[in-house]
Amino acid sequence: MTERAVSAEEFDDPVDSEGAPRASDGRVPGRRGRATRQRLLECTREMLASHSYRDLRVVDIARQAGTSPATFYQYFPDVNTAIVALAEEMAEQGNDLVVQLVGRSWSGATGVQTAEAIARGYVQLWEQNWPLMRVLDLTSAEGEHRFRAIRVRLLNQFTEALAEVIRGEQEAGRQTAELDPMATAGVLVSMLAHVASHLYGFEHYGIRTADLERSMAHVLYTTVTGQKPPKSKD
């Protein structure tokens, strides 16, 4: 595949700079530049599925994207920075999803559906982004502050939203357990993260993902509301 050299046209017709992705030198890419940057990110994502993040090289990503290492460096100073950009996108999308789900009704059968949607949504988020999730776990354990900050943001926003629901259930008298809402939410989110990260291990022992989701939903509902799930009419 022919490599393409860096072009000044990558930065023509820039978008509104507020909140827009920037190149390594701080400039805001134009339409062509944004497309090039996104192609580099997608190639990085694809290669993470079959390579350790430590083994990824700029030259390999650039070749996969049909461009040159010089063009890669135009947008990212190194491979880790490209992975961070991917992880930030994933965290933002993930937080939007789970916070929206947590905000649904937790009453009766509708509440059970809310818990089921959260369990299913979290598993899907993990399955769709498992190469990035793996990097976040490994690098966070190693103390890499950029990745740790993203992991904390991904988990903490969900935890805070769930804690607010638990607090509301307690204030309404439906949840009578005298437990700290934030601590309880933290335990629930940790459960979701741990189970989602070990799906293939569970499947190896014959445990279906659908059953895991159902069990997590049961724990979520009973812990958040303090009530037993209503019996199904089926």
In this predicted structure, the answer to whether residue 5 has a pLDDT above a threshold of 50 is no
- Indicate if the alpha-carbon torsion angle 45, 46, 47, 52 is positive or negative: positive
In this predicted structure, the answer to whether residue 165 has a pLDDT above a threshold of 90 is yes
In this predicted structure, the answer to whether residue 36 has a pLDDT above a threshold of 50 is yes
Alpha carbons 148 and 153: distance in angstroms, whole number: 9
Using pLDDT thresholds of 50, 70 and 90, give the confidence band for residue 22: low
Buried b (16+ CB within 10 A) or exposed e, 196-226: beebeeeeeeeeebeebbeebbbbbbebbbb
Half-sphere exposure of 90 (CA within 13 A, CB side): 28
Average pLDDT, the chain: 85
In this predicted structure, the answer to whether residue 24 has a pLDDT above a threshold of 70 is no
Alpha carbons 138 and 61: distance in angstroms, whole number: 21
- In percent, the amount of the chain with pLDDT more than 70 equals 86
CA distances from 90 to 41, 63, 208 (A): 12, 24, 26
Q: Please state which of the four CATH numbers 2.102.10.10, 1.10.357.10, 3.30.1280.10, 2.70.98.50 is assigned to the domain occupying 81-225.
A: 1.10.357.10
21-35, 53-67, 140-154, 190-204: which range is least confident on average?
Answer: 21-35
Which bin fits 24, alpha (ψ -120 to 50), beta or left (φ > 0)? alpha
CATH 1.10.10.60 fits 8-77, yes or no: yes
Amino acid at 32: R
Using pLDDT thresholds of 50, 70 and 90, give the confidence band for residue 26: low
pTM, two decimals, is: 0.77
Which residue blocks in the chain are alpha helix, DSSP H?
31-48, 58-65, 69-75, 79-102, 108-128, 130-141, 145-171, 181-197, 199-204, 209-225
Predicted confidence (pLDDT) per residue in 113-140, tens digit = 999 999 999 899 888 888 888 888 888 8
Stretch 161-183: mean pLDDT:
91
In this predicted structure, the answer to whether residue 11 has a pLDDT above a threshold of 60 is no
pLDDT at site 152: 86
Residue 175 gets which letter from DSSP?
-
Region(s) of the chain under CATH 1.10.357.10? 81-225
Q: Which two structure tokens, joined as six digits, stand for 11?
A: 């930065």
Region(s) of the chain under CATH 1.10.10.60? 8-77
